[in-house]
Structure formats: C-alpha cells, structure tokens
Structure 1
C-alpha cells in the first residue's frame, strides 16, 4: 500500500468520523429539546461507557500477560 493510499484512507476515516459526530450531536440536541434526556445524563452515560471500555481493555491486558 502506497503512502498516498494510506493518506486517502485517513482522509476517508476523518470524513466518516465527522459525519458520525454530526448525526450524534443532532440526535442529542433533539432528545434534549424534547425533554427526553438531559445533557448531564448523556455525559454521565458516556463517562460510564468509557470507564467500562477502559476496564475491558485492562482485563484483556491481564489475560495476555
């Protein structure tokens, strides 16, 4: 794979990431505007999921070592 192809793939990933972020932001704003969820609930859940992911990674490291 050439360097140009790698840069192209990175650019494609950035575009996908941007579009996913845009959709998620819109969804959160709509849910908050409708009073179905608060921004603090979103933040709390994201932090909990992130923490769970870190625990999962740590558990995999323990098994590998």
Structure 2
C-alpha cells in the first residue's frame, strides 16, 4: 500500500535540509580558514590554490569515469 507524505514528513524534510545547510556552511568556513592560513604562512600562494581549483573543476566537468 502506497503511503502519502504527511505534513509532518514535509516539516522533517525541511528541518533536515536546514541542518545540511548549517553543516555545509561550517565545512566551507573550515576549508576557507585552512586555505587562508596556508597562504598567510607562505606554504601556498593564492595563484596555486586558484590553479588547482580550476584543474579540479575541469576534471569534474569532464570526468573520465563512466556515469550511470
């Protein structure tokens, strides 16, 4: 028997989405902080970070792996 989502199911789904947004923000903040510290300490340059980000972005846009 097929069950239709209740109003509470929608509330729970929206709450989970809100939690995911908070988690995404915290992860992005942590990564940004680490990158800035590495640049400030002279371990990486901003150009190196930007080049690697562009390289990874290109790889993800044209993945050599088959997709399902």
Fold match (TM-score > 0.5)? yes
Structure (1 or 2) with the larger CA radius of gyration: 2
Using CA pairs below 8 Å that are at least 6 residues apart, which structure has the higher relative contact order? Answer: 1
Report TM bin, short chain: 0.7 to 0.9
User: Aligned residue pairs: how many?
Assistant: 61
RMSD of aligned Cα (Å): 1.9
The structure carrying a bigger helix percent of its residues is 1
* Residue segments in structure 1 that go unaligned for 5+ positions in a row: none
TM-score normalized by the length of structure 1: 0.81
Q: Structure 1 CA distance, aligned partners of 2:21 and 2:42?
A: 31
